[in-house]
Amino acid sequence: MFSLPLRDNALLRPLETWHAEEFAANLDRAREHIRPWVGQAFVTDSLDGARATLLRYAERQAADGARLYGIWLDGTLVGGVMFVSLDAASGNCEIGCWLEPAAEGHGLITAACGVLLDWAFGTRGLHRAAWHCRADNARSAAVAGRLGMTLEGTERESWPYDGVRHDTQIWSVLAHERPAARRP
C-alpha cells in the first residue's frame, strides 16, 4: 500500500511477513550471489526460513529497532535495504542491503539507502549510520562511498565464511556530513 518511487519502474516498500513467498522467490534468485557477503542467518533456503526472517524484522521494528524494506523492479521483488540495527537512544544505526544479480548496476541500492539515511537523520534525529562489509566486497564498499561514508577502519579476520576468516570494513556517515539538501 505504501511505496516510494526510486525510479519510474522501481519502488521501495516495507518488506513484511505477508511477502514471505515473494521474499523466498527473491532469495532463490539471489542466494548464491549474496551468500559470501551477508549475514548467514539471512540466507535461508525455504519459505519457512524466509518467513522467519521477515517475522524477526517485524518484531524488532515493533521495538523501534531493525527494519526491512524491499525494492520492487517492474513488479518483482529484486532485493532490499535494511536497518540492521537502530538505537534511537544512542543515535546509532547500521544499514545493509542485498540484490539479485539481474538488478545490479542501476543505482537502486544507493537510492534506497539514501532514503534510509534521510529518514534516520532528518526524521529520527540519529547521529551516525554505519556500514559493515567484507573487505573484499568491492561493490558494497562502492555503495558506502557513493553514500558519502568514510572508511573508518578494518576489523581483522572478524568475518568467518566457508572456513576462512575475512577482514571486515567499517564505514560510516554522520548526520552533519550528509548534505542538507538531501535531507527532508
When binding is defined by CB under 6 A, the residue of 2, 63, 105, 179 that contacts ligand COA is: 105
99 scored as a contact of ligand COA (CB under 6 A): yes
Give the binding range for ligand COA (CB under 6 A) out of 9-17, 100-108, 158-166, 175-183: 100-108
140 scored as a contact of ligand COA (CB under 6 A): yes
110 scored as a contact of ligand COA (CB under 6 A): yes
Closer to ligand COA by Cβ: residue 147 or 175: 147
CB 121 within 8 A of CB 175: yes
When binding is defined by CB under 6 A, the residue of 12, 38, 66, 77 that contacts ligand COA is: 38
How far apart, in whole angstroms, are the C-alpha atoms of residue 142 and residue 110? 9
Closer to ligand COA by Cβ: residue 18 or 161: 161
Grid coordinates representing 109? 541500492
Burial class (CB in 10 A: 0-12, 13-18, 19+), 179: exposed
C-alpha 111: how far from chain center: 11
When binding is defined by CB under 6 A, the residue of 14, 91, 107, 148 that contacts ligand COA is: 107
What is the maximum alpha-carbon separation in the chain?
45
Q: Closest Cα partner for 78 from 28, 118, 114?
A: 28
